[in-house]
Amino acid sequence: MKTPVGLVTVALTAAILLTATLVIATGTRGEETEFPSSAGALEVRTFARGLVNPWSLAFLPDGKMLVTERPGRIRIVSAEGQLSPPLKGVPDVWASGQGGMLDVAIDKSYAQNKTIYFCFAERTSGGGRTAIARAKLNDAAGRLDETKIIFRQEGPLSSGNHYGCRIAQADDGNLFVTLGDHGSHRDQAQDLGNHLGKVIRIAPDGSAAAGNPFIGRAGAKPEIWSYGHRNGQGLAINPASGDVWEVEHGPRGGDELNIIRPAKNYGWPVIGFGLEYSGGKIHESTAKDGMEQPVKYWVPSISPSGMQFYTGKLFPKWSGNLFVGALSGSMLVRLSLNGNGVAGEERLLQNLHERIRDVRQGPDGALWLLTDSSNGRILRVTPSVK
């Protein structure tokens, strides 16, 4: 007996939809993925896929989120994991080398002002530099309105490397931002006359924030908060203390975790724990008077990117811990803290074999990750219920 063509079509369509639903719910290979941890088994599920080198994730109050892609795009991700078309109104982005669209952050008063901040590599004559923009998100129209570049990094230009750039907004509304040394200009990280290798603190309009340590000092940029950094790609404010913490890439070894204090010199490239990629010497030593020591450093490098203090309830054993994504390390690093010191380290999700570009805590208390590849994913990490 032959089955009517119409019934075959309906059956095939239903099967395709069911398969697609299972793939979205359970991961890249169509299967649930569990990983061991000190808090019990972790369940990792794919929430969204098909992103090209996603760089940053930010949650909106309505359950949606923003995600950036390094080629120069910002998208809205629905509460069901659907990706919007790229938002209109984004400035021209120089997506070359390590540059492109980088971090995105939601203003603390977003519910009232719809304001977001983002940073990106901006092309200029002879190279690129980090720029920071502010805009209003028009979700319904799929665009950014009133987009304005509020800050441009000054100093020798980049040929494509070491832009930074992470944003953290303090309770007073001011923005802390990491700015890279542009790779081939490492000595400029010690020069207060430019923004290379610095953490800056700016007001929401891009001006130097009141109380910055170098305001009024001749030859120093007023936006600078700290200096002597290489390529900061993680920045977070510790909710327990209000301190600003940063992670930055070392060269061959010497990635650093730092607590950022005003006017302090963090030593790059004078002191450090790394080598040239060729194996040659970079630093004078590992310590020097007047230069800060890291809270922790990694040799060999893990290439830290993205960081989050955990305050959720899904992982009560990990309350107050610091999570750091790792690129070359292809893992999620959990650091238990003792005041301003690191008491222990746990390396998670190593069998995932994915470069972790960003880590965020969601409103649901889950850990949310971005995987950095040409088919990047948004992952949701929760305790396993099996």
Catalytic residue positions, numbered: 162
Q: For 338, phi and psi rounded to 5 degrees? A: -130, 90
* Separation between Cα atoms, residue 178 and residue 28, nearest integer Å: 33
Q: What one-letter code names the amino acid at 212?
A: N
The residues facing 308 across adjacent strands are 323
CA diameter of the chain? 91
Are 310 and 361 in contact by the 8 Å Cβ rule? The answer is yes
Of residues 228, 214, 234, the one with CA closest to residue 266: 228
| Three-class DSSP category at 126 | coil
Neighbour count for residue 172 (Cβ, 10 Å) = 10
CB-CB contact of 360 with 58 (8 Å)? yes
Structure tokens at 157: 């230009």
- Say how far apart CA 190 and CA 198 lie, in whole Å: 9
Decide the pairing of beta strands 101-106 and 304-309: unpaired
3-state secondary structure of 14: helix
The contacts of residue 25 (CB under 8 Å, 6+ apart) are: 45
Helix (H) or strand (E) holding 112: helix 110-113
> DSSP for 199-227?
EEEE-TTSSBPTT-TTTT-TTS-TTEEEE
DSSP string, 283-349: -SBS--TTSPPPSEEESS---EEEEEE---SS-GGGTT-EEEEETTTTEEEEEEEETTEEEEEEEE-
Q: Counting beta carbons within 10 angstroms of the beta carbon of residue 383, is it exposed (0 to 12), middle (13 to 18) or buried (19 or more)?
A: middle
The phi, psi pair for 322, rounded to 5°, reads: -110, 130
